[in-house]
A and B are shown apart, each in its own frame.
Chain A
Amino acid sequence: MTDLTTTYLGLNLKNPIVASASPLSKKLDSAQKLDEAGVGAIVMYSLFEEQIIHESLELDHFLTRGTDSFAEAMSYLPESSSYATGPGKYLDHITAIKKTVSVPVIGSLNGVSKGGWTSYARHIQDAGADALELNLYYVASDPNLTSNELENAYVELVADVKSNISIPLAVKLSPFFSSIPNVCQKLVEAGADGLVLFNRFYQPDFDLDDLDVIHTLHLSTSAELNLPLRWISILYGKIKADLALTSGVHTAQDVIKSMMAGAQVTMLASELLTNGPRRIPDILSVVESWMQERDYASIKQMQGSMSQNAVREPAAFERANYMKVLSSWKEQL
């Protein structure tokens, strides 16, 4: 019997496939389908800092605007007795999902600034989340903001969030740092129990007809796997935190590669959004067959087996690898 179990953030998972933050966790029934399909854990869709603050401000703005200004219309919209703006609704949903599914549920907070909103980390914990994923992403557009300042802000934020909770904390970050290992190390020292590599976001695009900036979401492909694969491989063994690989995981092969690079878990969103939760048993089945064919007894056995430290040519993950790819490309021309 092949052992597919793994651990992540101190949680025992029955397999390394984790549904990453996506609309699939917005509905109880779709979360339940993930559970029934055999997912190892579920990361909740993100509660955004903007959502916590701006959703209620926006509601307030539109409910207030125009009121008490005109004798015939003291207001323009009725006032409900309560509104599930931002956090409340989200927290209720975590509790409901926890009651519905059998696997661990990881809450997700998304933001960058320090402030009162980080107290929601505790609320997420209190709502029943088994762990928390803090998603950091800030587009630094100010030329006066140094990388050091930004990284320090991240570190402070992680420490702040960590101080609010007792459940494990994973930090999801972007690949856009000069020294990813150094940043990772500082985040772990600030309290991160795990690192999720890497997040992907809406990127601006241009509409050439209207000359407008538009936002489009492209789902990932397996081609995107290589970036996190490299960094998981490099970080494995060097950073004292669990590593999760996300972005570009679509197939059983992607999962196996992730494990071999050193990830404790792989996170899927695009694949599940496109083909549904039924892909989970398919992928697991292929992983299992592949392992059986090659006499792998357990996932744990292969984790990190192709990390930078474990391969014969560690330099393959560094600049030499870059040169090699270029020369191989030339050969194809």
Chain B
Amino acid sequence: MAKRKMITIDGNEAAASIAHRASEVIAIYPITPSSGMGELSDEWSAKGKKNIWGTVPLVAELQSEGGAAGSVHGALQTGALTTTFTASQGLLLMIPNMYKIAGELTSTVFHIAARAIAAQSLSIFGDHQDVMACRQTGWAMLSSGSVQEAHDIALIAHATTLRTRIPFLHFFDGFRTSHEVAKIEYLEDDDLRAMIDDDLVREHRARALTPDKPVLRGTAMNPDVYFQGRESVNQYYEAVPGAVQAEMDKFAKLTGRQYKLFDYVGHPAAERVIVLMGSGGETVEATVKHLVEQGEKVGAIRIRLYRPFSIEYFIKALPASVKTLAVLDRTKEPGSAGEPLYLDIVNAVSESEMAIKVFGGRYGLSSKEFTPAMVKTIFDEAAKPQPKKHFTIGIKDDVSNTSLEYDPTFSVEYPETVRCLFFGLGADGTVGANKNSIKIIGEETENNAQGYFVYDSKKSGSLTISHLRFGPKPLQAPYLISPNTANFVACHQFSFLERFDVLKYAQNGATFLINSTFGPDQVWDELPVEVQQVIIEKKLKFYNINAYEVAEKTGMGTRINTIMQTCFFAISGVLPREQAIAEIKHAIEKTYGKRGEAVVRKNFEAVDQTLAHLSEVKVPASASSTVKMRSAVPDAAPDFVKSVLGPMIVFEGDNIPVSAMPIDGTFPTGTTQWEKRNISLEIPVWDPNLCIQCGKCVFVCPHAVIRHKVYDKAALAEAPETFKSMESKFKEFPGMAYSIQVAPEDCTGCTLCVEACPAKDKTQVGRKAINMAAQPPLRETEAANWDFFLNLPEVDRTAINPNTIKNSQLLQPLFEFSGACTGCGETPYVKLVSQLFGDRAVIANATGCSSIYGGNLPTTPWAKNKEGRGPAWSNSLFEDNAEFGLGMRLTIDKQTEYARELLPHFTPELGQELIDGLLNADQSNELGIKQQRERVAAVKEKLSGLKNDSKAKDLISLADMLVKKSVWIMGGDGWAYDIGYGGLDHVMASGRNVNILVLDTEVYSNTGGQASKSTPRGAVAKFAMAGKGIAKKDLGLIAMSYGYVYVARVAMGASDQQTLKAILEAEAFNGPSIVIAYSHCIAHGIDMAKGLDQQKLAVQSGHWPLFRYNPEMALNGQNPLQIDSKEPSIPLEQYIYNETRYRMLTQSDEERAEMLLKSAQADVKNRWQYYQQMAAMNFAKVSDKPES
């Protein structure tokens, strides 16, 4: 067999490569971790890449996975070869159509990057919960366990679906396989042509709906025939196993890679056999080989075809010697007699009347590690007379005691395999460089190569860990590099050494490379003593480079990727130095060449200058440093934070036992305050001499790290020496002291506060009342100042009217220190809501950026005040958030009503005056709310003695409902304009008092910048590579059409006052309200420090006209629409061409960019005119005024 082309790609690309070439229509919707398949398909089609029949597949983005499945169904019914990609909740949304597609015997393949299901919490990581929820739909299910298999089995699926007419679900493990980069053998177009029978394609087409041969499909059947109809397809399912095996055999002849429905590996006379599917099969296979070599009679069945489940083939695959089967399910089915694969195997053994003991367990949920050590333990368990049934492996279950103990040091890796770990900052490009390194090693050497990447959950200052393996032997190791096994450890950020146990991964004699700002003679003394000790004990070879210096000199900024990559090759000796450098440069040209010569040149310079700065550090005989590693959280943190969240912060969460976990996904709020990340090298510093106390810096801060307070001057007696203050300029607080304070360890250094500050030094206008300064020298003193500041009393909420920026910013933010991007454009709005209404708010948050920075562990930003009140927050799903929030409102409305109904029952105990006060309270301001809370407290107090009165107990439990609650429904444009729009529309139409905040970034930000219906004309986004050709949906206009919905469009960078006014009005409006907030975003390709300026330009250009539509105005005979921005005063291009999302189209297709700009400019003009006409309508003359 001729040598085949080898490529180094990830699992998503491996599957998509087949799907794209074997399809005519592809309907897509983004969801992690499958988005890559849709993105690649869209990119390939946009670039004109053809399928095997010589035509470019048509790729269409839908509004949801449900929509994608519907379109797939339609395309299939009309005869196109159609596919899609999804995962998790997305797959669940496809289930209704999957039944239809299977019921109609329709050939298709869905490729699934299998992922956990949101239950007690969401998880983006891999397991089989989603695909297992589809096993009853009538689809065939084929499983891949590696990147190569994702490529191969994708093709087998496409070939077999046409032969059998049964739709196929091809799945592989999310992240572990979808995101693993590996060297694989590429399947050429001719391989696809050899596997896919064109006659079957034409038969598929011949079954299509066409008016030229009309038929009717999709009837409604009655009890007389439905059952028979359902049974009519049995023979097709019976034929599937044979057909799949036939295609696998055909594939083997083509490629030499033989798959079986149930692949057995192991001892021919094995007595103990593990049964499983997915990437864990690779681990089990490698372990089995190792154990067999040790003389153990063990084996494994790796299931490829899970549905239809062929008992016949399964039994045939089993050695006759088997005594015990251990069945591993990567899923959880609470309450069942056992997990699904286990039950299938029990049934298979039972039906075949074999005397085999079967036991099963769960492993690997949400990408939990699954290692040879665990496999060994399961085999040991299988050898016991009574193996533990329904066990778990990989966790410590100290509640139900399901877990098996294992020895983590057990390893089956070949001694020739080289293992390398790289700790990087997200922003420094470490992962990208390592992906390139894997390609270089994979493609330029005979080595096998594998790369897998771990990210923390923050969007700013994030940490990445790259796990690279390479070596001459096969790499069946879909698990992370274990402690004490790495040959090479690189730490690209010196400060990580203080926070994480980086060197626990190094094996004795390994190489350790650090990037530091210190010279080779100085770096040793700067290391924490614990690190010094490990270097000495493990006899590590220690190298140092000041990569930042090289990067600075060569124009690389903070991107040290190329420099560290060069060091890696230079030290590791994977390739001869000269060749390695040549290959790095080749990779640079390949990666960056199209972006311009200057980019290539600066990278080349970085490579060339690296080696001169790299040096080996002489390791002393003893540790002497005075620097010590920091604990994960401060001592003052609550116990739960210390014992549960702390380990998560330092990547030790795997060790947390089941007993420590909340049982229902409930977590305390306000925990980000304990995670001092110190990610910014610069922080803002306040100059009281210039400050005008406007509060704008506080208003715009995305992370709530800059705050101001007015307080009694007497408090200053206890102030730290460097704490700054000035005389209050607030008319409400004469004679008091005033301070602005920054949280130095939480600031991300975005500089939005400096940009927003209007106070300039009259003698030096470049200097403002807020200026950036280096953080390290200020860290300690400012941290003390911050603690003092926090302990100053918060403002009395009843003492101010929050309708000015400065007053509103005296209110304590109850959303702080989130993991959002540096300079995030969404979080200032979120924070504002938390300040104004947080102590009585319930929040429904759609999945997306805001649910991730708002609710991703380890620590979360929603906080509470000193009275213990604060926003109660929850995320249901992506698609149902408006309805979820409405449900909250319904509860509040009902329970408030019930509480009000109960009050009169207790007139003797409460007194009429208190009851009247409670029932007629004016809660339109903070004073009214405070007084109502006092009344509620009185109720509880007065009724507390009625311990046997169930009505009294009910009223006590519901009395808090008598205090006005504020329901906020938040999410991004992907939710509001697309997947959740149906629900959003219904909730707006409901008339209920909910407040909807749309954080409009005009793109799916969280999943990496896919186009939504909010994406403007002319902007480039994923799924709109050629620039979006149609205009942005006008959600505000649609909302206004109801006439009884409060609608506002805001952009705080253009008008902070209008933003504040709109949010206050929206909340005060006793009905549905929606505020659509312009949120600049990293996906716009802008300098985030200029985000507020961009907002201003968006408004000035007319792209984002500001308005408020208040139905109450109409009741008074006034036009409800008030346009708050001026007529467009600058051309659209002055705004849009500051942003890469628009500008890149001028660089890739100038003509189209011009055409779209012209149309978009016309959109601006037309919309402005339309709004003007709406705002000019005379409502005084409307005879039928809407009722409240």
Listed in ascending order, the chain A residues whose CB lies under 8 Å from chain B are 52-86, 89, 116, 211-212
Contact = CB atoms under 8 A, between A and B. Distances in A.
Contacts, number: 144
B806 interface: no
A60 B1006 contact: no
B1007 A60 contact: no
Interface stretch (B489-497, B505-513, B1019-1027): B1019-1027
B47 interface: yes
B1147 interface: yes
A53 B597 CA distance: 8
Nearest to A84: B1147
B597 A56 contact: yes
Contacts of A71: 32-33, 124, 175, 455, 457
Contacts of B760: 211
B594 A82 contact: yes
A76 B457 CA distance: 16
B731 interface: no
Given A63-B1144, A71-B455, 15 more contacts: A52-B598, A56-B599, A59-B599, A60-B599, A70-B455, A71-B175, A72-B33, A72-B35, A75-B1008, A77-B1140, A78-B39, A78-B43, A80-B1147, A81-B47, A83-B595
12 contacts: A60-B592, A60-B599, A63-B595, A63-B1140, A65-B427, A65-B1082, A72-B32, A72-B1006, A76-B1005, A76-B1085, A81-B47, A83-B1148
Contacts of A55: 596
Nearest to B1011: A78
B426 A211 contact: no
Q: Name the 10 nearest CB pairs between A and B, nearest first.
A: A56-B596, A69-B426, A73-B1008, A68-B431, A62-B1085, A62-B1140, A76-B1083, A80-B1148, A76-B1009, A83-B1147
B1150 interface: yes
Contacts of A68: 426, 429-432, 435, 453, 464
Contacts of B1148: 80-84
B377 interface: no
A57 B1006 contact: no
Interface in B1066-1101: 1082-1083, 1085-1086
B1141 A77 contact: yes
A307 B754 CA distance: 56
Question: Most chain-A CB neighbours within 10 Å: which of B431, B1007, B1140?
Answer: B1140
Interface in B587-607: 592, 594-599, 601-602
Contacts of B158: none
B355 interface: no
B1025 A59 contact: no
Looking at A65, A68, A84, which has the most chain B CB atoms within 10 Å of its CB?
Answer: A68
A77 B597 contact: no
B154 interface: no
B563 to A, nearest CB: 15
Contact of B1009 (A61, A77, A80, A85): A77
A54 B852 CA distance: 35
Nearest to B458: A70
B599 A70 contact: no
A206 to B, nearest CB: 9
Nearest to A92: B1150
Given A78-B43, A83-B1148, A73 B1009 contact: yes
A23 B1083 CA distance: 30
A89 B1150 contact: yes
Contact of B1008 (A58, A61, A72): A72
Interface in B30-59: 32-33, 35-36, 39, 42-43, 46-47
Query: A55, A56, A57: which has the most chain B beta carbons within 10 Å?
Result: A56
B97 interface: no
A85 B426 CA distance: 27
B1147 A89 contact: yes
A66 B1082 contact: yes
B517 interface: no
A55, A75, A77, A212 pick with most chain B CB within 10 angstroms: A77
Given A68-B426, A84-B1148, A76 B595 contact: no
A325 to B, nearest CB: 37
Nearest to A61: B557
Interface of B: 32-33, 35-36, 39, 42-43, 46-47, 124, 175, 426-427, 429-432, 435, 453, 455, 457-459, 462, 464, 555, 557, 559, 592, 594-599, 601-602, 760, 765, 821, 852, 1005-1009, 1020-1022, 1025, 1082-1083, 1085-1086, 1140-1141, 1143-1144, 1147-1148, 1150
Contact of B595 (A65, A75, A85): A85
Contacts of A60: 592, 595-596, 599
B1140 A74 contact: no
Nearest to B594: A82
Given A66-B1082, A72-B1008, A80-B1148, A59 B596 contact: yes
Contact of A64 (B33, B429, B435, B1144): B429
A83 B599 CA distance: 13
A289 to B, nearest CB: 39
Contacts of B431: 68-69
A72 B1140 contact: no
A76 B1021 CA distance: 8
A57 B1147 contact: no
A70 B856 CA distance: 12
A306 B474 CA distance: 87
A263 to B, nearest CB: 35
A211 B761 CA distance: 10
Contacts of B1022: 77-78
Contacts of A69: 426-427, 431, 455, 459, 462, 464
A86 B431 CA distance: 29
Nearest to A72: B32
Contacts of B39: 78
Contacts of A58: 1140
Interface centre among B175, B455, B852, B1141 (most CB of A within 10 A): B455
B473 to A, nearest CB: 28
B751 to A, nearest CB: 15
Contacts of A53: 598
Nearest to A56: B596
Nearest to A82: B594
Nearest to B592: A60
A72 B853 CA distance: 12
A77 B1147 contact: no
A58 B435 CA distance: 23
A83 B36 contact: no
Nearest to B1024: A78
A64 B427 CA distance: 9
B723 to A, nearest CB: 30
A61 B555 CA distance: 11
